[in-house]
Each structure stands twice: as C-alpha cells, then as structure tokens.
Chains A and B, each alone.
Chain A
Amino acid sequence: MTRIDRDTIHHLEVLSQIHLDDEEAKVLGGQLERIVAFVEKLSHADTAGVEPTGLMAHDDASALRDDTPRDGLDREAVLSRAPDRAGEFFSVPRVLGGGGE
C-alpha cells in the first residue's frame, strides 16, 4: 500500500495552497492512504493501447464560436465583490518578503 507520510502531505499542502494544522494533516493523511489504496484497483484493469477520455463530446457541437466581441460583466459589479480593492484593481497582501512587518 502506498504510504502518504507527513512530507507528502506537506508537499500537497504547498501545491494546493491549503494550510493544514498537525492534527488535520494526520487525519487527512490516514484517510488519503485508504482512498489511494481503493483507487489502486485501477492497476488491475487491462488498459493496454486504450486511448484516454478526458473530455466528453457526443456530437461535434463543441466547436469554436464566432469571434464576435460582446460585453463582459460590469466592472463595478465584479469589483464590488472583492474582499479588498484599490480603485479599479484587486488588492492583495504583499507578494514578496512576508514575515517581518
């Protein structure tokens, strides 16, 4: 069975941008191990030479539409939903050099 250790969980935390506390990491790690063991069943299916299906398409409708300009959402309506804004911009905490104020 695949082991999902603390280092693996930490790696997944970083990749998925979700902070986990120690207790949460422990519980989730154990649950993920059991779920991964379950999906490992896939290795028993004979898939040699089988093309993967990523997207469903039951007809040829998923073609590109005409490239005609049209109005998007109202800027003020969109910006008014942001947790923080500066005029016409979304505002976020500093990008570099966090930690010290």
Chain B
Amino acid sequence: MDLTRQTVATLRRELEDGRINPLDIVDAHLDAIEQRDGDVHAFLDVHADSARDAARRLTDDGSYRTLPLGGIPVALKDNICTTAGRTTCASKILEHYSSPYDATVVSRLRSAGAIVIGKTNLDEFAMGSSTENSAFGPSHNPWNLERAPGGSSGGSAAAVAAGLAPVALGSDTGGSIRQPASFCGVVGMKPTYGCVSRYGLVAFASSLDQIGPLTRSVADAARVTRVIAGHDRNDSTTLRCAMGQREGATDADADARTDAPLTIGVPRSFVEAAQHAEVQQNFDDVVERLSKRGVQIVNVELPHAEYASAAYYVVANAEASTNLARFDGVRYGHRSRNSPDLDAMYANTRAEGFGAEVKRRILLGTYVLSAGYYDAYYHRAMQVRSLMIRDYEAAFGRCDLIATPTSPTPAFPLGERVDDPLAMYLADAFTIPVSLAGLPAISVPSGRADDGLPLGFQLAGRPCDEETVFRGALRVESVAGFTEAVA
C-alpha cells in the first residue's frame, strides 16, 4: 500500500490493525517530500527530525492506537504559530521568527496524536489567491505545475494533493481554504467563525479569519474539525456551540448512511455570473445528480451578493492595516538597520519587510479608515455585511444548505494575474459572501475540466451547523465520482 495516497480513515485502520506504525507513515511522507517538493514547493520548512521523534514516542507509549489522529502527519500553514521551527507567514519581516508558544490548534492536534510534519507556503500574511505573493517563491499546482495551486493556503492544498501530507491546516479569510482546495482537487472546510480558536494564528482580518482542514475526503475533514474545534479561553470569540461540544453531536459517517431529507438552495442568478462554461456545466451536473438521489433543490436569492467582494476588500483590509501595525521592528522580526530615529526605523523596516500586495492592502485599509472616507467605505461595507447576513437568513428559511461552484474558474496559470490585483480578487467571488456572514462552508472536488484540472463544489450552512454541511458534502462526494485524491 502506498501510504502517501491514503485517507486518514484508511491510515487509522491500518494502524489500529497493527499492519503499520506511525514511523512508517512519517517516513513515507518525508520520502515523498524529498522526491516531489522540489517541483511543487508546498513546504517552507520540513520538520523531519521532530516528526520522527514524535512518531517514535507515539509508538513507544502505544497511545497512537486509540487517539483520533494518532500517528497521522499534519502540515500546517506557516501563519500558525509553532514553537518548533520558524513561523514566517511567507514574509521577509518574519523570515527568522520563531514563536514562543504553540497555537491552540497545534496543542489540540498533538493531544489527538497528530504529528506536525512541516510548515506550508502561503501568500504573504494570507493575502492573495494564488500563493504567488509568498516572499519565498510560489507553490505549484500538483495537477499541472504551470498552474497556481490557489491561495492563500496554496501550500497546504498542494501538500495534500501531491501526497506529501494526508492532512493540512489552512486559514480562510475570504476563501483561502476553499479556493485552493478546489484548485488542487482536495476537500477544504472553513468552519463557522468562532468554531476554531484563532489563538496563535497570525491575524489578517480578525472578524473573518478561521482555521480549518484540507483533506482527501469529507469524513477526514469532519474528523479533523472535531479535533480542533471548541471554546478556548485564549480566544474570546470562540463559540460554545462549536462542533463536537454540543450534546448528541453525531458522526458524519453515520449520517451519510441515513437518507435524512436534505434541501439545497441554489442562488441561480449569482451562480450564472460564473462565465466559465466547464465550471457551470460541472455545477449543473452535480446539482442534477443530487436531485436524482433524492436531495430537494430549490432556488434562492442572495440579492446583495453582488456587493460582497467590494465590502470584503474594505472590511478585510481595514482590519489588516490595523493588525499589521504590530510589525514595527521593535519586539520581533526584521528591523531596518540604517535609520536615524524611531519613525524612520518603523517606515524603513516595513518598507523592507513587506511585499507589494501587503503594502497595497495596508494602504487601502488605511485609506478607507482615514478621516473623510470612513463613512463612505468602511461604515457602508459593514452595513452591506449586515445585508449579506440577512440574505442568508432569508435563504436558509427555505433550505438547509446553499450550493455554488467554489471558484469561478479552474486553476489559472502562474503569472497570469500577479500584476492585476482586481483580477486576482475575482477568484474569491463565490467564497467571499459566505465569509462575510461567518458561515461554515466546504469545497468538495466535483470533477475535472477538459484539461484535467480539478473543479470544486461549495456548500454553505447555517451558523454552527457543521454537521449538516458535512452531511451534504458526503452526498456531493458520492455523486461527483472524483476518485483520484492524489495528483
């Protein structure tokens, strides 16, 4: 059995039955990284020694046999703090930074027996949709190395798709888990805002950021979400309704076998804005197959979705301009060395440390918050956000889940959009409205375009209703017939 092409569920079965041990899995993935990551560049750092040590410890004490992620390698997006190795956010300003503490998700993964195998590439500070904004070079799509893996969690998606890790964590602000999952043919889950602690996630836009898993199956995504979700005293925005903490939380696997009634809403006029024929065709095919399998399909309206991207780029960058003020060369990270006074040191440190997209977004965020513009942009964007939330509340009066394609296009060529920020922003047209409303949403591989590139199907659910999202996603997975989990 090639251990680098399996789901977590399969690996766990092999481990529980004693046919393999954690070190077999870790070694197989380290070998695969050695062989393939020169081309893919999913990883910024590989934690080979500490991963082998962890595998030996889990084997020696036998704990891997019963833990939900016992012996499973996990790759972490490099904006998630780890005491092991560096945490760079793919930025020069943090190139040599190591965190004095672990993110809550890292502690939770470790308690569940998972083994951190390395840190993955991203758009600098998670700002982008292609991973080309990394200060350390882009990642490549494993299905076609000339294409972008999506972003900003492109390294995480590419690692799972290339057989370099069975699970990766990403972060999603406007689509940064779901869109790269779609581009790379893997499952990507963004839980409800507040479901997973952000303690130790380097902040981009605090009212939107959420950590979630990228995996090779829906069941794996549910398993990992259950491990990382839950209230955390270190993040006061975490919810108590979070997955796995509710009484009677059910196993998504078991749910899939039931034929519980399910109604999926399709915002037809919004979806038709995707002018890519194959994306449209694939989406319609999957909806029809779901319908034939007993899922009820209804039309819904999201009248304010057309304003969502504009509202998002105002809100997210306003928050980013504030959050990134902390990178000032005083307490950690890069400091410019040739500055006569403190103000010049700040301005030069940030000029040297940040890349073009990060500067663009900080300036935009500063602009929309500045005197005279606040009402026209920031205040108005927050109002549109309320309207977007109302749209979803009304739509969920008629259905359990809302379906769209994940991305308006399959993976685009590397280099195609780097000089055109607005074209890049359109890559998130379907994921952004969901983010503004803080809803749980998943991207499930749903087929391939003619040139072989994967396509993704997005399902969004009501707040805190991850279980229904997974239940719907299992149905999509079973009708879509996308069977090659590894490129």
A and B bind: yes
Main secondary structure of the interface of B (DSSP, over half): helix
Residues in chain B near residue A77, CB distance under 8 A: 100
Residues 61-99 of chain A, each 1 if its beta carbon lies under 8 Å from chain B, else 0: 111110000000110011001111000001011111111
Q: Is the CB of B347 within 8 A of A18?
A: yes
- Which one of B325, B335, B382, B425 contacts A52 once the chains associate, using CB atoms below 8 Å? B382
CB-contact partner of A59 in B239, B309, B346, B422, under 8 A: B239
A19 at the interface (CB under 8 A from B): yes
* Residues on A with beta carbons closer than 8 Å to the beta carbon of B325: 17
Known: A35-B313, A54-B382, A100-B340; 16 extra A-B contacts, CB below 8 A, are A11-B370, A16-B366, A18-B354, A35-B421, A38-B313, A39-B313, A42-B376, A43-B380, A52-B379, A53-B382, A53-B383, A56-B193, A56-B194, A58-B192, A58-B438, A96-B341
Residue on B nearest A68 in the bound complex, by CB: B233
Q: Please tell me if the beta carbons of B386 and A53 are within 8 angstroms of each other in the complex.
A: yes
1/0 per residue A27-46: CB within 8 Å of B?
01001101110111111110
A and B contact pairs by CB, cutoff 8 A, 11 listed:
A4-B367, A18-B362, A38-B422, A41-B306, A50-B386, A51-B383, A55-B207, A56-B438, A93-B340, A94-B340, A98-B343
A1: interface (CB < 8 Å): no
Contacts A42-B377, A73-B100, A98-B343 given; indicate if A47 touches B387 (C-beta within 8 A): yes
B292 CB to nearest A CB, Å: 34
B359 at the binding interface (Cβ < 8 Å): yes
| Residues of chain B within 8 A of A28, CB atoms compared | 356, 359-360, 363
- Name A residues whose Cβ lies closer than 8 Å to a Cβ of B: 4, 8-9, 11-13, 15-20, 24, 28, 31-32, 34-36, 38-45, 47, 50-59, 61-65, 73-74, 77-78, 81-84, 90, 92-101
Interface size class of B (residues with CB under 8 A): 35 or more
Chain A proximity of B420: nearest CB distance (Å): 9
B331 at the interface (CB under 8 A from A): yes
Query: Chain B, 383-396, contact with A by CB distance < 8 Å: what is the 0/1 string?
Result: 11111010000000
CA distance A95 to B341 in the complex (A): 6
Which residues 345-381 of B sit at the A interface, judged by CB distance below 8 A? 345-348, 350-351, 354, 356, 359-360, 362-364, 366-368, 370, 376-377, 379-381
Q: Is B240 in contact with chain A by the CB < 8 A criterion?
A: yes
Q: Given A42-B310, A53-B382, A98–B340 Cβ distance below 8 Å?
A: yes
